[in-house]
Each structure stands twice: as structure tokens, then as C-alpha cells.
Amino acid sequence: MNNLDDQIEPVIALDDDSVMQYLLQNPDFFIRNARSVEQMHVPHPVKGSISLVEWQLGRQRHQIAQLEEEITLLMEQASINESLFGRMIELQATLAAASSLQDMLNRLQRWARSLGLAGANVRLFSEGWRIGAPSDFTHLAVSRGAFESMRIQRLGETPHYLGGLNGPELLLLLPQAKAVGSVALSLMGEHGELGVLIFSSRDPQHYQPGMGTVLLDQLAKMLPGLLERWIERV
């Protein structure tokens, strides 16, 4: 005859993983025990306790609300992207119709101001364009070497910078501008070797890190080809 210890079945310790594995292996558990499930209650931070069914319905309502919020955000982003695309097409047609380089720069300036900005400027790296004397556009030139410290500090490895500039930086890029609160800088050229596109705002909070740069990216890619109509590349 076996001793008493041999006759006692070992007690199985239940934990979260054990219960979860059992439920995964027995997907019909809640169907077989529907009546018991209806009587189950789980803790609730506000109501004290609620039925398992009510808890599940609450989770589903929360998930639906999250999905609705995500769909709303996607629709808003799609609307913004559509608006940006329309503005891009409008600007491209406007710039392409320019009769001279100065006319093109004026059109870019007017377009920026129609968006409520202080202005739009282009500075070209003198190492990449033939804009030295006797060119009429020497004022567009800036040395890439002089810009390098700003590129390292403000842009790093990215082609865009959104935020404020200090006095010496503004003097380098926008010597004639007044009351510049914030800017959006975009390097032009495949490797940022051709120059800088600058949009400026009087509002210090208008351009901030983390904002979208889709439109800036497209403009920075488009402008060099238009500029080549009047300025020769080195």
C-alpha cells in the first residue's frame, strides 16, 4: 500500500501564464461556461467592480474611440497634404512663368507673404554658382565655408532647420531683414551643396523643431532647376 503522500495528487500552481495558456488552448471555454462568465466580476478603478461582460464592452468602446481618433487624425493630415500639394503646384506654375531671375525671386516673395510669412529668400553658395562680379546677383552669394558652422550647429545631418537664429546668423543669411522671429532653412542640392532656401516669420513660435518639412523638401528640390535658367552652375 502506498503511503499517504503518494495518494495525494500534487497541487498545480496557477499563475497568469498558466491561465492564459489554458484559455488559448481551449477557445470554447467561455462558450461552455457562459452562465458562470456572466456572474464574474473584475475590479474597476471607479465603480469598484463590474461584470466581465461589461468590462469587455468597455474595452471595445475604448478601442473604437481610439480608432475613430486615429481616423480623424489621418483625415486631417490628408487634408493638410492636399492643401500643401495645391500650394506647391500653384507656386511651381508661378515661378516657371517668371521672365527673369529677379521676377522669380519676387514671385517667391509674394507667395510667401500670401501665407502670412515675413518673406522668402534664397542664398547661393558661391562655390557652386557663377554669381561673382559683374553679375547682378552677387548679393545672393554666401560662402559655404562661412555657413558651415551654422550648418553643424543648426542642421546637423538633416537638410532642414526650423526655429530661431541669433544675430550673427541673421546677419549672414538675412542682412536686410527686420524683426525675424523664426525661420525655416532648407539646403538645396542633392548633398546640400547649392545653397539655402529661407522662409522667415515675425512670430518666434511659427517655426519650431518637429514640424513637417514635406513642402520645404519639395521646394528645395525644385528651385535649383529653375535658377539654372539664369545662373550657370560651376
CATH number of the domain residue 195 falls in: 3.30.450.40
Domain presence at residue 41: no
Residues 105-126 pLDDT 10s: 999 999 999 889 999 999 999 9
End position of a domain, from candidates 62, 97, 132: 97
Do 161 and 223 share a domain, yes or no?
Answer: yes
Question: Which phi and psi angles does 43 have, rounded to 5°?
Answer: -60, 145
> Are residues 156 and 188 both part of a single domain?
yes
Q: What is the pTM of this model?
A: 0.65
Whether 203 and 156 map to the same domain: the answer is yes
119 and 225 both lie in a single domain:
yes
Rounded alpha-carbon distances, angstroms, from residue 171 to 10, 184, 199: 83, 16, 15
The C-alpha cell of 117 is what?
510669412
Q: Which one of 69, 97, 125 terminates a domain?
A: 97
Q: Are residues 220 and 165 in the same domain?
A: yes
- 194 is a domain residue: yes
Number of domains composing the chain: 2
- Has residue 33 been placed in a domain? no
Query: What CA–CA distance (Å, rounded) separates 60 from 164?
Result: 45
Asked, for residue 6, whether it belongs to a domain, the answer is no
Lowest mean pLDDT among 2-16, 70-84, 87-101, 203-217: 2-16
pLDDT at 23 over 90: no
pLDDT at 206: 92
Which residue range(s) make up the domain with 121? 100-229
Asked if residue 136 and residue 79 are part of one domain, the reply reads no
Domain-located, residue 12: no
Instruction: Please check whether residues 144 and 215 belong to one and the same domain.
Output: yes
Q: Are residues 121 and 173 in the same domain?
A: yes
**Whole-Å CA distances, 117 to 82, 198, 205:** 20, 11, 12
Q: Are residues 91 and 104 in the same domain?
A: no
Tell whether 58 and 85 lie within a shared domain.
yes
CA-closest candidate to residue 231, choices 159, 111, 128 = 128
- pLDDT, tens digit, for every residue of 136-158? 888 899 999 999 999 999 999 99
Q: What would the grid cell of residue 121 be?
A: 529668400
Q: Are residues 205 and 136 in the same domain?
A: yes
Q: Which of 205, 196, 123, 220 is nearest to 164 (CA)?
A: 205
Residue 66 and residue 115 in one domain: no
Residue 24 lies in a domain: no
Q: Pick 12 or 118 by higher pLDDT.
A: 118
- What tens digit of pLDDT does each residue of 43-77 get? 766 666 666 667 677 777 777 778 777 777 666 65
Q: Of 97, 130, 154, which residue is a domain's last?
A: 97
Place of cell 473584475: 42
